[in-house]
Amino acid sequence: MIVSTTDSIPNKKIVATYGLVRGSGIRARHIGTDIMAGFKSIVGGEIHQYSKLMGEVREQSIDRMIAEAKRMGANAVVGTRLTTSMVMQGAAELVAYGTAVKVEDETEV
């Protein structure tokens, strides 16, 4: 499965468009992580626990988007975007979305 943030893929032509596909995941913070993050905010730097948390939900969201595209018969997703939102105190949703398409190699004339 090709996943692209652009609306086209080099050396490929879109032969069918199936429509919008999306995948999402929600993650909640853990009280222990919040305590460690509080200490980290005093000295500065990356909060690795939150980076790991968001990385996991990002991959899950993309995997779910790809699964939906495959169910439609697509072999690529173009125009892929990621967005986040807070759904409640301490929980965030990450949504991956794009357009499911079928692509083929371009043939030179």
- Which residue's entry shows tokens 């879109």? 14
Q: Which amino acid is at 54?
A: M
Which stretches of the chain are DSSP H helices? Answer: 31-43, 48-72
Question: Hey, what are 39's tokens?
Answer: 């200490």
The structure's pTM equals 0.80
Task: Say if residues 45 and 80 touch (Cβ distance below 8 Å).
Answer: no
- At what angle are helices 48-72 and 31-43 packed, to 10 degrees? 120
Token output for 16 = 């069918």
pLDDT at 99: 98
Mean pLDDT comparison of 28-42, 71-85, 95-109, highest-scoring range: 71-85
What the chain holds in terms of domains, given with CATH numbers, is 2-105 (3.30.110.70)
Longest distance between any two alpha carbons in the chain, whole Å: 63
What does the pLDDT look like over 10-36, one tens digit per residue? 999 999 999 999 999 988 765 555 555
